[in-house]
Amino acid sequence: MAPQEIAFLIISGFRKHYSLFQDITEQVPHAFATQQWHIIEKVNKSRISHYDERVSDTVNILRLHFNTSQVNNQLWYQVKQAYIEILSFHPQAELAETFYNSVFCQLFHHSYFNNNFIFVTSSLSSATTLPVEAEYRSYFPVVDGLKPTIHKIISNINFLCEFGDLEGDIRLLQKAFIKQAPNTHQQHFKMRFDILNTPFYRNKSAYIVGRVISSTGTQPFIIAVLHDANGKLKIDALITNSTQMSLIFGFARAYFMVQTHAPSALVGFLNQLMPSKTQAELYNSIGFHKHGKTEFYRAFLSHQNSHNEQFCVAPGTPGMVMLVFTLPTFPYVFKVIKDQFSESKPFGRDTVLERYQLVKNHDRVGRMADTLEYSNVVIRKSQIDAELLEQMRDKLANSIIEDEEFIVIKHLYIERRITPLNLYLQDASDAEAEFVIDDYGHAIKEMLHVNIFPGDMLLKNFGVSRHKRVIFYDYDEVQYLTEMNFKTLPKTSLNDLYCGESALSFAPNDVFPEQLCTFVLTNPKLRAIFERLHPELLTPDYWQQAQRNIRQHITKHVFPYPQNQRFGQHNKNKGTL
């Protein structure tokens, strides 16, 4: 086959992938309007697995057409050049590069994974890129007036469902803008609204994302839209705080579902609103997690080139399932499954893989860190410190390939680095300790609401983010809440003790909530805080009720913004940031 033919076969595979991905996403607006939450959940899961299926289809087609047993260097160099020409005016060029990489890497050995054959660095620096204006629409209150302009914004979004009291919602929205962002309170002819064309959907919410441009500068904002008790839409909150916006797009939340013709333009706009977010984080947040991995890897290579440092064992209590290491100044950790687990872990490698995939597909409610999954990662041995290299050889022999110069890790996970909760508490003030122990309890409750039982709830398996938010990150014992048996701790009588018998017996999925403090919060001061703030978590009744709610499809909405941001004091539903 000619190089151009191979290039067109690959771009055809990408075209099919992207078209089907958008078709899947297109189901969400109607599902949101009709409150069919199970469809939104199904769409979210199918989008995650969809990419790998389309890559495999393309690989199989290529294998049918020509010999892929080894790389023809000249041919594949020409294929890449032909592909670059195709991408010159492609609206999803950056995603198409990643798709090409995935196809090539499935066909050939990792020794060929360099910029001669794949897009280790992007070819798009000199390409004609779409401006961010391709993804948003501007509105000018000077033309129609402020309130009619807001009406037009809502109308153009077209939620396929009526608002219960749009006039009242708009009044609340204007008051919230004046309170939260007083610098935007300008005369209406001195401002402009830039609004992304389509809303962002996740769980039971939709979000309008935009900014106000005025003579005083730029004010980004997010407008949250929910259903009221009568099935009508309502504006629930206005978010203008940069930290709160970052948390809504955070690494511990499920991916948004949003339609876009030009992802680079959409990400460019979001990056202007949230400049602290990386390209990788933003692509991940809108569901293009495979390209997010590409952007992350490029940032990782750039970091390595600009920092003279070695990989080392990550601080914290060593894991019984994973070897965890890091780079001192790089804000991520690398996790590899050990060859052998502690005796207290009665499962194997396949179970760990399944549980990490379970979390990937699930609603993470802002409490479970996202993971990036990589295969055949090559690291120079000179970049690994002696202690870590020794542990790799001792604990990861089945997961690495070693030669004189390199270590190749067959499979690893990468997560955002956060301070382990047990380490954070060592230096925390009384006020800080109370805050994070309270948030630890909320983290557990919010995971229960979405049918997640974290399993091992030791403090070392939770971390504290830079926003002082408690997040779970160790998934080897994660199971569905509804699979567990929550029981009251039996009382042991003197007769049992004299007879050498115990009424306490364990089935594999038995859980005794009363033991939570006994084994997790051994520090009396921390235990007292938890017992005061979350006593219900120490009773089987609370966990059993959470199970009944899940089985009856009663889903509590976990709000990704503070309760005091919500419109209307009549709403008493519990939620946390």
Domain edges within the chain:
3-128, 133-298, 307-418, 421-565
Are 549 and 450 in contact by the 8 Å Cβ rule? The answer is no
The confidence score (pLDDT) of residue 183 equals 66
315 is in an annotated binding site: yes
Cα 253 to Cα 216, 338, 366, 531, distances in angstroms: 33, 27, 4, 28
Give the integer Cα–Cα distance in Å for 173 and 551: 37
Amino acid of residue 434: E
The confidence score (pLDDT) of residue 574 equals 42
320 is in an annotated binding site: yes
433 is in an annotated binding site: no
463 is in an annotated binding site: no
Catalytic residue among 370, 456, 474, 476: 370
Strands 485-486, 510-511: pairing kind: parallel
Adjacent-strand bridge partners of 222:
209, 239
562 is in an annotated binding site: no
Work out the angle at residue 288's Cα, subtended by the Cα atoms of residues 417 and 30, and round it to the nearest 5 degrees.
Answer: 120
Whether 370 is catalytic: yes
Are 312 and 388 in contact by the 8 Å Cβ rule? The answer is yes
Of the candidates 125, 47, 134, the one whose C-alpha atom is nearest the C-alpha of residue 93 is 125
Strands 191-196, 136-139: pairing kind: antiparallel
Give the burial string for 161-175 (b: 16+ CB within 10 Å, else e).
bebeebeebbebbee
pTM above 0.85, yes or no: yes
420 is in an annotated binding site: no
Does the CA dihedral 469-475-478-480 come out positive or negative?
positive
Mean pLDDT by 10 residues, the chain (577 residues): 93 97 96 95 92 95 85 92 94 96 91 89 75 89 91 93 95 88 68 94 96 90 96 96 94 95 94 95 96 96 93 92 96 96 90 95 94 93 96 96 93 96 96 97 96 94 95 95 93 58 68 90 94 96 96 87 81 43
The first and second tokens of residue 218, run together, are 């730029």
**Reading across the β-sheet that carries 419-420, which strands appear in turn?**
419-420, 462-464, 470-472
**How would you write 117-134 as a 3-class SS string?**
CCCCCCCHHHCCCCCHHH
The confidence score (pLDDT) of residue 492 equals 63
316 is in an annotated binding site: yes
Task: Provide the terminal-to-terminal Cα distance of the chain, rounded to the nearest Å.
Answer: 56
